């Protein structure tokens, strides 16, 4: 029997029903995550681009999931708990060459969740 361990925190989390997920980095979009997950008994596609740190896309996904399930933003105490134990990286203060833009205060400059019908 061959065993394996998945290091992806969202896929390992039993609170998520993820059918497909890909994380990655490209210069134009920064750190990204794209996933197909069932949230609130509906299939959802979530795309998060330009995450400031290695772990912030996980926190962003948790906040989007909570918002889709409840219609409310994640309470501050839960945000702090979700972020605890993860190394925090300072955000870069200057834009990438040729972009002429500054990063916003949120860790993802673009977040999209879309339900689709089968």
pLDDT at 54 over 70: yes
The whole-number average pLDDT for the span 74-78 is 66
Q: Where are the beta strands (DSSP E) in 2-98?
A: 17-26, 30-39, 42-51
The pLDDT value given to residue 74: 76
Rounded CA-CA distance 40/16 in Å is 10
pLDDT at residue 24 tops 60: yes
* DSSP H or E run through 70: helix 56-70
Average pLDDT taken over every residue of the chain: 74
pLDDT band at 49 (very low <50, low <70, confident <90, very high): very high
**Is 11 in a helix, a strand, or coil?**
helix
Identify whether the C-beta of residue 35 lies closer than 8 Å to the C-beta of residue 21: yes
More confident residue, 75 or 18: 18
Q: Is 47:110 a contact under the CB 8 Å cutoff?
A: yes
Q: Is the pTM of this model over 0.75?
A: no
**pLDDT greater at residue 35 or residue 104:** 35
């Amino acid at each position: 029997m061959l065993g394996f361990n998945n290091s992806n925190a969202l896929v390992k989390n039993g609170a998520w029903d993820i059918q497909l997920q890909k994380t990655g980095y490209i210069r134009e979009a920064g750190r990204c995550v794209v996933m197909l997950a069932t949230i609130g008994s509906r299939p959802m596609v979530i795309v998060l681009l330009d995450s400031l740190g290695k772990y912030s896309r996980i926190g962003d996904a948790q906040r989007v999931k909570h918002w889709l399930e409840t219609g409310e933003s994640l309470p501050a105490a839960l945000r702090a708990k979700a972020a605890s134990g993860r190394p925090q990286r300072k955000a870069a203060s200057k834009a990438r060459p040729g972009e002429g833009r500054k990063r916003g205060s949120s860790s993802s400059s673009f977040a999209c969740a879309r339900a689709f019908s089968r």
